[in-house]
Amino acid sequence: MNYFTDREHITLEQICDTFVGSTARQDDDVDYWDFKSSGLDLSSKIEEMAAKLPEKEISDLKKVLKILSSSYCGLLYGGPLKPFDRLSREQKERLFFRWSRSQIGALRKAFNVFRKLSTFMTYSASPEEIPSIHKKIGYIGPISKVSNQPTKINTINAQSDQEITCEYLIIGSGAGGGLAAGMLSEAGKDVVLLEKGNFLNENKFNEQEWDMISKLYDRGGAMTSSNGGVTVFAGSCLGGGTTVNWNASFPTPDHILNEWRQEADLAHVESVEYKESAQEVSRIFHVNGDHSNHNPQNQKLWDGAKKLGLNPKVIYRNVSGCNAQGLKSCGYCGFGCIGGCKQSTMRTTIQKASDLGARIYCNTEALTIRVKSGKATGAESIQTIDGKRIKLSIKAENVIVACGAIHTPALLMRSGLDHKELGKNLFFHPTVGVAASYNEKIEPWHGPMMSTVVTDKLRLDGNYGYWLETAPVHPGVIGMTLPWVSREQHKNDFTIAPRCAAFIALTRDRYGGKVSLDKNSCARIKYKMHSYDLNHSLLGMQEAAEIHIAAGAQEVIFPHRTRKTVNRSMSLDERKRIYSQMTSWKWRVNDYALYSAHQMSSCRMGGNSNTHPVRPDGSFVGCSNLFVADGSALPSCPGINPMISIMTLSHYTIKNILNG
């Protein structure tokens, strides 16, 4: 489908060149400084991505392109009345620079959309497409060995519209749904599992950043809040988030379980049975600390934290065999683990379900759940194969929804199921990155992505605070995360990539957002970081900066649009003076880069059915055989990477279904 006109394609190419184009040469590497994104046909990639977006987002993008194609674009930055393609390079840069600082939120959003598209799509291209970029930073791309035991799962491609019957219909295959499929199949139940995304196994994980993110992540990796302020990373493939996450495996903290017991009226979360579910999850998914070697950036976080008197800890991970692959073979798990070391639901419980006869349909989106007289009777879904849409009508005795905290409430709403709290209390663990350059080689794309965590400030105010980890930093993410003030500044900053370490500060958000439906019944995300949570995030950035300096960093770059920095030549008092000024920098939506890889609690479980849409047994209020078993059911965010919390809740729910 053609979403953009020829004129819009030209404008998109020129926009991308404005963000990543040729600049004055800083050294004799002519190929690097002369490189510009227009040779990559990014407008076609943007069109490919647009096919995965809701119509509203495509419409908004086209409106901005229409403005830029007219003479009136000059009115939006105080420039000449000329269309974008007739502006000089300097005028184009000034236009986006002004938009980035505009009082008009829509202009800041447009700036960030174009900035992220241009920088990420350029720098995430394959080595064959951007050899000068990869040579400059020493990025050699895919290096891992394909597992000699690739996952072999039987998935079904329907040939025509059909009706399917089963005992248990599971919608979603991530941490909650993938575990449920294995447990129910092992108990001898007749299971149908639907997954909206693709099935790619180790033979098809090619470790190419753009290719894998576009194929394995929801909306091709371009999911954002409606205001554009939060980039939302969520798996959309067989295994869901467990296929693409970074393996951090934390049990739910005791103080959070106690909070859930008291505030959500869930006595069972502190029971022996719930603890047994947690232990069984750790066994099934091989949670261990034996493969958590520190790569250089994790070592920097560890060493810097120690020097400041903090208490870094080793992150346990759900992996097996990473050491055998070799340290540098890790680092690409966000694109699927090619070595088969990551113990995702795809490789464990879904594999078991497939072996036991579960029917698994990928590329299949559930449109509505059928409900009659207070009971779920099945679902209507569409499987899309090579562009062909096939209707699958499923009759089921029980339905388990595990689409994640964005799509579970959307599916329930589309199905006419109602609860005043449905879709509310959407928590994100809002995340910011603090990058720093060092004198020595870091190569943050190599080695286990997360092996160090600093949790000293998890409970700054009661159960609310922040914690620090590292993030896997490949070229596309580096390009998208670094602030952009001008193309020359950004291109020059990008050269720090091989010497860069990136720490992330994650905040346990007290004030959440919501999921609703747009006019086309697609999930719409509303989220704006509350000043209470932002304050914790700012403190996290400051601590990350101090750890960087203590570990030997030369310069620390904050994720603010104005490219604020501190460096090691400054005294502590000078740095503290800068930190004291941080609140005055303006932290409006789209003034800084904000991310979420954890989405939770939009259909939360609790003992009070007036305030919680899901009962303690996992069933949806008013529908006894409809269960929710994913991150949306968490009573609140756990304040730590949530995979094991989700799995424990799902395991306990399914165990009780089987025992009931």
The pTM of this model reads: 0.97
**Confidence at residue 595, expressed as pLDDT on a 0 to 100 scale:** 98
Which runs of E-coded beta strand occur in 575-620?
A: 594-596, 619-620
Together in a domain, 246 and 382 = yes
Ramachandran category for residue 622: left, alpha or beta (phi over 0 → left; psi -120 to 50 → alpha): left
**pLDDT at residue 47 tops 60:** yes
Together in a domain, 359 and 240 = yes
| Whether the Cβ atoms of residue 568 and residue 547 lie closer than 8 Å to each other | no
Model pLDDT for residues 298-342, shown as the tens digit of each residue: 999 999 999 999 999 999 999 998 875 555 668 898 999 999 999
Instruction: Locate 302 and state its tokens.
Output: 């560890």
| Whether the Cβ atoms of residue 509 and residue 427 lie closer than 8 Å to each other | yes
The span from the CA of 368 to the CA of 490, in Å, is: 45
Together in a domain, 108 and 209 = no
**pLDDT at residue 399 tops 90:** yes
| CATH number of the domain within which 607 lies | 3.50.50.60
Residue identified by tokens 């025509």 is 160
- Asked whether residue 97 is domain-assigned, the answer is yes
**Confidence at residue 144, expressed as pLDDT on a 0 to 100 scale:** 78
Together in a domain, 57 and 125 = yes
Burial of 441 (0-12, 13-18, 19+ CB in 10 A): exposed
Across residues 453-467, what is the average pLDDT? 98
Together in a domain, 98 and 168 = no
Together in a domain, 270 and 401 = yes
Q: Are strands 230-232 and 594-596 parallel, antiparallel or unpaired?
A: parallel
Where residue 146 falls among pLDDT bands split at 50, 70, 90? confident
- Asked whether residue 588 is domain-assigned, the answer is no
Which runs of E-coded beta strand occur in 549-631?
A: 555-557, 565-567, 594-596, 619-620, 623-628
Together in a domain, 215 and 361 = yes
**Confidence at residue 329, expressed as pLDDT on a 0 to 100 scale:** 66
- Asked whether residue 591 is domain-assigned, the answer is no
| Whether the Cβ atoms of residue 448 and residue 317 lie closer than 8 Å to each other | yes
Together in a domain, 1 and 57 = yes
- Asked whether residue 517 is domain-assigned, the answer is no
Instruction: Locate 660 and state its tokens.
Output: 């009931």
- Asked whether residue 493 is domain-assigned, the answer is no
Instruction: Locate 418 and state its tokens.
Output: 């109602």
**Confidence at residue 325, expressed as pLDDT on a 0 to 100 scale:** 55
Together in a domain, 175 and 68 = no
Model pLDDT for residues 151-183, shown as the tens digit of each residue: 999 999 999 999 999 999 999 999 999 999 999
Instruction: Locate 340 and state its tokens.
Output: 């088969």
Which runs of E-coded beta strand occur in 427-497?
A: 431-437, 452-453, 466-470
- Asked whether residue 436 is domain-assigned, the answer is no
Residue identified by tokens 């609860």 is 419
Domain interval for residue 58: 1-138
Model pLDDT for residues 562-612, shown as the tens digit of each residue: 999 999 999 999 999 999 999 999 999 999 999 999 999 999 999 999 999
| Whether the Cβ atoms of residue 443 and residue 637 lie closer than 8 Å to each other | no
Model pLDDT for residues 51-62, shown as the tens digit of each residue: 899 999 999 999
Together in a domain, 258 and 364 = yes
Together in a domain, 39 and 170 = no
Together in a domain, 175 and 245 = yes
**Confidence at residue 330, expressed as pLDDT on a 0 to 100 scale:** 82
The span from the CA of 590 to the CA of 463, in Å, is: 28
Domain tally for the chain?
2
Question: Across-strand partners of 342?
Answer: 319
- Asked whether residue 75 is domain-assigned, the answer is yes
